[in-house]
Structure 1
């Protein structure tokens, strides 16, 4: 098992490397970093603009291959991912913002996956009943709604709730309140207040998607011969479903987890903008809007590493659920 995981990590390192280099080359080919400095008042000379771009390693007059080689050399020899258009080290920005994003992603993805699996199993067991129809319609409604719309609707509901109780219990602007009193309890309650809405949005998005896949897989399992065999050997319906059916139905879901997590990373980007969280999602969007080549490549590296780690975890879970994989 250890050799298998190590081999997968080596493969994923190569994939993350290819994805990041491809992102850097693509960004260098299509982005125009010089446009950011043109039209300023007072205007900058072309020589000044080229000097700034040379400092970032993004001068379009230098061949892409040469720029890519210099960028890779800085990474492998010095651990330097170059700088953003604001002259901040890209690696430092990623490390600072990654913690902000992971706080949302980990909680939202785990809770969303658990809730989605439960709802999917429940819908399969209660097929075509009122509870199944309700979950189905609600899931499709959430899936069809853009991420930022879900965020805005939750903000409207929270504003009405705060007005109803006469105090700002739910906060949705920023990651924390600047003037909270010192102490663990005020800090903890403030964190909960700010995390509630964006986490709820991620949970809703994840649960809606997971429940559809889990329901479909569970329906196939319920019609399997081994369920009927377990019942014929004296197992109760509940025991047969929980001990045999759910475990088998979770096997394909463990594989889907890695791909769903990548989608969740993309969805959290808009939520960070809506709720003013300065995480990797906001960093990625700004890097594209500002034609920041180095930041865009660093953002792709972050997303690739998260997706590949989640893929490794899903394969470990797959092996835990299916003994044949371990053999």
Structure 2
């Protein structure tokens, strides 16, 4: 199993390098962040513009392959180049990565667990009232765009705050401008700001996971080994948990890796809606400013997250399926 995982991780590392370098090459070949400087009156000296082009990786006089190699070797040493504000991109990545990971880690874990539980529950109680409620609710959330769901929850939070007479649920920024003193008051303040964006991610992920898990579980319920386990005297609940759920989770482990990319996209939209200064906001601002190094750095961050989620998916798949371990 170790060799299997090493091969898979090596494949994901190669794909991460290709995705990051491809993003850099595409941005460097098509974008011109020095255009506003070129339109100034008076125009800055050409030497100044050329030096900025070299620093920002968009000098057309340097071959694209050479620019990409310079950027990639810098990344290997932790240097992602300079942004259009002439500050190191690495500093922006490290400061914003923690902000995005708060949403992604909590949202992905809670969403996956809740989705699996709802999917199993719906399959076991097929066509009953509880299954119908989960099914219609899931399709309703899946059909709703992420930003619409975010604004609906914001309106609900405003109503709840007005009824209670104080701000129980906050939806702007990561923390209040006037943070209270003390560890626990500050922790509560952060939690109130984290609740709504995390809830949006959890609901979206749970709705999607529940549909796949319900379908996989229904296929398992009619399997011969479930009937055999019941015929040998194993209780229905224990047979489902011990033999059914474990087998039904195998395709879900693969789906987790591919759905994580959609979760990253949803987090990008939520960071803008809820005014969180994370990687999603950095990506949008970088594209608007044609900041090549920041775009490549953001792509590298997302690629590493996909690498980690894919590796975790392979580990879960190997743990659930003995055929993979052999």
Identify whether the pair has TM-score above 0.5, normalized to the shorter chain: yes
Deviation at 1:43, TM superposition (A): 5.5
- Match of residue 66 from structure 1: 66
Aligned mates of 1:312, 1:72 — CA distance in 2: 23
- Match of residue 204 from structure 2: 205
- 1:43-58 matches, within 5 Å, as 44-45=43-44, 47=46, 48-58=48-58
- Match of residue 307 from structure 1: 306
Which stretches in structure 2 are left out of the alignment for 5+ residues? none
Q: What's the TM-score once normalised by structure 1's chain length?
A: 0.94
- 1:253-264 matches, within 5 Å, as 253-264=252-263
The 1:109/1:43 distance shift into structure 2, 3 A limit, reads farther
- 1:68-147 matches, within 5 Å, as 68-76=68-76, 78-147=77-146
- Confirm or deny that 1:35 pairs with 2:59: no
Deviation at 1:39, TM superposition (A): 5.0
Deviation at 1:220, TM superposition (A): 0.5
The 1:178/1:43 distance shift into structure 2, 3 A limit, reads farther
Aligned mates of 2:108, 2:295 — CA distance in 1: 24
- Match of residue 26 from structure 2: 26
1:244-302 Cα offsets, whole Å, 9 max, x none, are: 11111001101111111111011100000000111111111111121111111111111
Q: 2:28–2:57: 8 Å Cα contact kept in structure 1?
A: no
The 1:220/1:94 distance shift into structure 2, 3 A limit, reads same
Deviation at 1:141, TM superposition (A): 1.3
Deviation at 1:169, TM superposition (A): 1.2
Q: 2:29–2:58: 8 Å Cα contact kept in structure 1?
A: no
Greater mean alpha carbon deviation, residues 5-14 or residues 118-127: 5-14
Aligned mates of 1:228, 1:195 — CA distance in 2: 45
1:49-105 Cα offsets, whole Å, 9 max, x none, are: 4432222222244332232122223333x4311011112211221111111111111
- Match of residue 251 from structure 2: 252
Aligned mates of 2:139, 2:44 — CA distance in 1: 54
Could you say what secondary structure the match of 2:34 adopts? helix
Deviation at 1:304, TM superposition (A): 0.8
- Confirm or deny that 1:150 pairs with 2:143: no
Deviation at 1:119, TM superposition (A): 0.7
The 1:149/1:60 distance shift into structure 2, 3 A limit, reads farther
- Match of residue 320 from structure 1: 319
Aligned mates of 1:39, 1:202 — CA distance in 2: 43
- Match of residue 287 from structure 1: 286
Aligned mates of 1:13, 1:174 — CA distance in 2: 34
Aligned mates of 2:154, 2:250 — CA distance in 1: 36
Q: 1:36–1:290: 8 Å Cα contact kept in structure 2?
A: no
RMSD: 1.7
Q: How many residues align?
A: 325
Aligned mates of 1:74, 1:226 — CA distance in 2: 55
Q: 2:57–2:292: 8 Å Cα contact kept in structure 1?
A: no
The 1:36/1:199 distance shift into structure 2, 3 A limit, reads farther
1:288-325 Cα offsets, whole Å, 9 max, x none, are: 12111111111111111111111111111111112222
Aligned mates of 2:36, 2:279 — CA distance in 1: 21
Aligned mates of 2:4, 2:94 — CA distance in 1: 29
Q: 1:123–1:131: 8 Å Cα contact kept in structure 2?
A: yes
1:162-205 Cα offsets, whole Å, 9 max, x none, are: 01100011111111123212211111101110000000000001
Aligned mates of 1:249, 1:36 — CA distance in 2: 56
Aligned mates of 1:97, 1:36 — CA distance in 2: 27
Which stretches in structure 1 are left out of the alignment for 5+ residues? none
Aligned mates of 2:62, 2:316 — CA distance in 1: 47
